[in-house]
Amino acid sequence: MNKKLSNLKKSFGKIIIISSPSGAGKTTICDAIIKSNKHIVSSISYTTRTLRTGEKNGREYFFISKAEFKKMVKEKKFIEWAKVHNNYYGTPKNLLDKVLVSGKKYILLKIDVQGGMNMKKQYPQACMIFIMTPDIKTLKKRLIARNKDCKEAINTRLNNARQELRYIKKYDYLVINKKLDDAIDAVKAIIKSLEYKIDKRTYNN
């Protein structure tokens, strides 16, 4: 077999970035995708927000103080970081680098649009997926129903969502989460299609 063609079989750890406004179902969909595909590993971000009921440090996020976060920023330990809803979030460089050479087919990053844009600049080959509810009204209902935020926080998240929607055109795919199972199947189909996408990094010569 031609050497260049044989290189197609190599795993470079394709990057999948999933973003959405708060309450659109990003976390639930990502959890389902991770559980259903042994070839996908999730990158766990660091955050300064408060740990919520049912969450575990090191599973959903690494929860640290603002002082610790700023120290990591100064030490350049994040590939990207951003301030979202008055809290800081960052993607650790060492974990991403480790996964990209581990032999896993995919690494999934569950990050906001600011982080998504920063990652796209550094990894233009990344697959960008945006999750959204059918409309803002539905998003508001889901934010209220999950009973995690006060009225002021919900309004902040809705205002941020309107700003985040402007970034949809920067993404490769838009999945409308009207029915959760259908949205999960749609994301699975997108990821499945990546198996047949040529990675141009194999053609350096």
| pLDDT for residue 8 is more than 70 | no
Predicted pLDDT of residue 201: 59
- DSSP secondary structure letters along 82-130: EEETTEEEEEEHHHHHHHHTTT-SEEEEE--HHHHHHHHHH-TT-EEEE
Predicted pLDDT of residue 132: 97
For 14-71, write each residue's pLDDT tens digit: 899 999 999 999 999 999 999 999 889 888 899 999 988 888 998 889 999 999 999 9
| pLDDT for residue 3 is more than 70 | no
Predicted pLDDT of residue 5: 33
Assigned CATH for 12-195: 3.40.50.300
| pLDDT for residue 144 is more than 90 | yes
For residue 85, what pLDDT band results from cuts at 50, 70 and 90?
confident
Predicted pLDDT of residue 6: 37
Q: How far is CA 43 from CA 84, 94, 199, 205, in A?
A: 18, 10, 21, 31
Domain ranges of the chain: 12-195
Q: What percent of the chain shows pLDDT beyond 70?
A: 89
Q: Which helix (H) or strand (E) holds 33?
A: helix 26-36
Predicted pLDDT of residue 7: 41
For 112-135, write each residue's pLDDT tens digit: 999 999 999 988 989 999 999 999
Predicted pLDDT of residue 166: 95
The whole-model pTM stands at 0.83
For range 77-82, the mean pLDDT: 90
